Structure 1
Amino acid sequence: MHEDENHRRRTRYTLTETEHSHAWGVCAEVEGLFGEPRRGTYELVGWVPQADVRGWVGNRVWLVPDDETLDPWLLEDAESLGQICGTDSLVVTGLDDYEGPPEGHRGRVRVHDGQRWLGSCREFARVLPAEQAAPPLVLRGLAQSDQLRAALMKGTRQALNLEQAALEVQDDQGEPLAERLLWTRVSAWRPSSYGSDLIDLELDGELFTPVPEYARPVWERWLAGPPDVQDAWAGLDTRRRGAWLDLVRERACRRPRCDRPAGHAYELDGRHITDEPGLYLALGEAVNGPGGYFGGCLAALDDCLRGTFGFTAPATLHWRDAATAREHLSHALTPDGQPYDLFCVVLDVLSQGGMHVTLA
């Protein structure tokens, strides 16, 4: 490995103090970056299935109360743990949205995944998890700044409280990839085996949300550098395509962009658009090349069409194998369960944004 590659790996992670933007230090490895985020667990009492709900359920699962005065409740990255033996209850877990039916809601709740109705229950209840200490976040081989060295030497509770910080992540080419915010304090430090004058810094991970384990292969692919061919995501399932799209979005926010002039003709490879993440990944690569970003939802797509994301209106998009997207995206559900045609809506958004689409 060349010396500059070694250096880039040693500086893959930067711990930054967010208020004044100074770096606490840089390191090569972070233990605890990947893990299992804290998930809400719910018992759906009186479960009446309309589809087979086992294992991973969907990126965005909506619980829709019959009481129309209440908004639907979103459960992200939902998983089914199956029915409780001897009962009519289904147990699901997921990352909670802040809105939705109140705890102990007694009315019927219908459940869908954005494409199909999964079933309904007569009520739901939160299952409180057992208290469990969050694992620490350990920055191994950290080259500490003068500010951090002074704080560690002082050693007081106030000095070791780093408050709000950001863990900035670069790929092996030295390009910014992602960022994770945390509110934390130093819990321990020790000399590192990575080299002299380096330390292993242990941070309280109580308020840190780790990257889910299922996304680790996607992150490891991107940490090596961005893809140099299109459709590198095509073999992934919907869950991991969502993780790929998250990184594409994060990376795009940290890189300068140059809009092509008006009148440009884009080519969209539609062979792998079998789900919503695939739609936005293919659109991003059509406009901005391998690993490119051009929206991750309808609102973001509309924003990208207004400029500064590689596109200037008017332009033309030649959508090859459009029948694949039409087949998989024409039957969608709004959060409150109303059917709509996502494929046609996307075409309308593109048209209104100055992108003339031809289908093939």
Structure 2
Amino acid sequence: MRGDRGQGGRGRYALTESEHGHVWGVCSEVEGLFREPRRATYEFFGWVPDGAEVRGWVGCRVWLVPEDTTTDPWLLEDAESLGPRPRTDALLLTGMDDYMGPPEGHRAPVRLHDGYRWLGSCREFTRVLPEERATPSLVLRGLSPGDRLRQALAKGTRRALDLGEAWLEIRDDGGEPLTGRLLRPKVRAWRPSSLGPDRIDLELDEELDGPVPGHASPVWDRWLAGPPEGPNAWAGLDTRQREAWLELVRERGCRLEHQDRPAGQLYELDGRHITDEQSLFLALGEAVNGPGGYFGGCEAALADCLLGNFGYTAPGTLLWRNFAPAREYLSQVLTAEGEPYDLVARVLEVLAEGRMRVTLA
């Protein structure tokens, strides 16, 4: 497993008790945060593609839309195609579904889309149960334990070593809050650490719900070093990595305290790199709050940000430069049910409702 160390040995990670906020300990290196998450596998029988074959990475969100309209679509996140099953007419897809698959015994046909285009259809499908595997632990290396953790380790009882609900808080190398993971850690083992005197390596019996997969590691490396100094640092990323970038922007943005600017401000949006939904909200965030800034990651979140506390005070004006790419790529997208709609037009409506006047250039 990969370890991740903060620059200069500073405490990048803090394990904090969630109810009262006391700190169990601080460290600069964690093992178990960066690894591939468990993925569900779906087998689609009688697969008929809509156009090109579905291969490799498929999309951040792939919707399984049942032919029976009384049943809601199901979501498969970060979907990858394993290709056709040999000597069959079936297609294999993997992805995260929070273990919320179709109803037991579902056998009706479904169509699949990735939010932008229809991918294909099948006569029926099934969820293949993942192989059993040992639960990986989370190891906090070089941890400086707090007094309460020292007391718990000294007791050594099962009750004392159950740390309850806690946050693994993650800061960048400048000490600014970046993101976190909610845990229910139980101490599995501890030992003196080679990373310094009076430090320990604390092993927790905890499997993260949201480990950082390999494709997102370069994005995390960039953000752990500190926020970007200039705009459009995400522009060269593919959609999958832009999604990882947007997740960090959202989580960091919701942890920061924003000072709303006075009403009547002019904001400028650089639309040159808007080719997917992720880049639309990244560009909006930087228009309002500067490089790496957050101002909503979906329509509902954008509407919330327009109400205040995220850097904006109504009314304001948004000068949207290079509007053509957004119109080209996002004026014909699909709802979860597969209905076409104009995302750009909807975002313009939300901005207008928030008293943000938009000028297109």
Provide the identity percentage.
69
Give the Å deviation of 1:209.
3.1
Q: Deviations over 1:147-193 (max 9, x none)?
A: 11111111111111112211000111011110101112111111101
Deviation at 1:205, TM superposition (A): 2.7
Cα deviation code 1:52-104 (max 9, x no counterpart): 31111111110000111101111111111111000111111111156663133
Is the alpha carbon distance of 1:358 and 1:100 closer, same or farther for their aligned partners in structure 2, counting shifts above 3 Å?
A: farther
Q: In the alignment, which residue of structure 2 is the partner of 1:36? A: 36
Distance 1:181 1:58 in 2: 26
Provide closer, same or farther for how the CA distance between residues 170 and 207 of structure 1 changes in structure 2, counting only shifts above 3 A.
Answer: closer
1:84 to 2:85 alignment: yes
CA-CA distance at 1:136 after TM superposition: 1.2
Q: Aligned-residue CA RMSD in angstroms?
A: 1.4
Residue equivalent to 1:196: 197
2:274 aligned counterpart, secondary structure: coil
Q: For 2:252 and 2:207, locate their aligned partners in 1 and report how far apart those are by CA, in whole Å.
A: 26
Take 1:305 and 1:19, find their aligned partners in 2: how far apart are those partners?
30
Decide whether the 8 Å contact of 2:260 with 2:313 is kept in 1: yes
Following TM superposition, the consecutive aligned residue runs of length 4 or more in structure 1 with deviations greater than 6 angstroms are none
- Structure-2 residue corresponding to 1:307: 308
Cα distance between partner residues in 2 of 1:117 and 1:172: 43
Deviation at 1:292, TM superposition (A): 0.3
For 1:220, the equivalent position in structure 2 comes to 221
Equivalent residues of 1:104, 1:123 under 8 A apart: no
**3-state SS of paired residue (2:160):** helix
Letter in 2 for 1:27: C
C-alpha distance in structure 1 between counterparts of 2:184 and 2:310, whole Å? 32
Shifted more, 14-23 versus 319-328: the winner is 14-23
Which stretch shifts more, 100-109 or 337-346? Answer: 100-109
1:15 corresponds to: 15
- Confirm or deny: 8 A CA contact 1:73 1:97 kept in the other structure: no
Q: How many residues align?
A: 355
Conserved? CA contact 2:40–2:99, under 8 Å:
no
**Is 1:269–1:321's contact at 8 Å kept on the other side of the alignment?**
yes
Q: Distance in 2 between matches of 1:195 and 1:317?
A: 52
How far apart in 2 are the matches of 1:137 and 1:200? Answer: 10
User: Does the Cα contact within 8 Å between 1:277 and 1:296 map onto a contact in 2?
Assistant: yes
Shift of 1:106: 1.1
Q: Is residue 63–residue 72 contact of structure 1 (8 Å, CA) maintained in 2?
A: yes
User: d(CA) in 1 for partners of 2:54 and 2:296?
Assistant: 29
Preserved CA contact (<8 Å) 2:141 2:202: yes
**1:64 — aligned with what?**
65
> Equivalent residue of 1:299, what SS?
helix
1:99–1:30: structure 2 CA closer, same or farther, 3 Å change rule? closer
1:281 and 1:307, CA in 2 relative to 1: closer, same or farther beyond 3 A? same
Is 2:39–2:130's contact at 8 Å kept on the other side of the alignment? no
For residues 99 and 69 of structure 1, the distance between their equivalents in structure 2, rounded to whole angstroms, comes to 17
Aligned equivalents of 1:85, 1:142: Cα separation in 2: 49
**1:262, CA displacement in angstroms?**
1.3
Partners of 2:53 and 2:281 in 1: how far apart? 27
2:254 aligned partner = 253
* Rounded Cα–Cα distance in structure 2 between residues aligned with 1:58 and 1:208: 20
Task: Give the equivalent residue in structure 1 for 2:349.
Answer: 348
Contact 1:103 1:125 in 2 (8 A): no
Q: What is the SS of the residue equivalent to 2:184?
A: strand
Name the stretch that deviates more: 91-100 or 116-125.
91-100
Other structure's SS at 1:250 match:
helix
Unpaired segments ≥5 residues, structure 1:
none
The one-letter code of the counterpart of 2:336 is P
Q: Quick one: distance in 1 between partners of 2:223 and 2:170?
A: 11
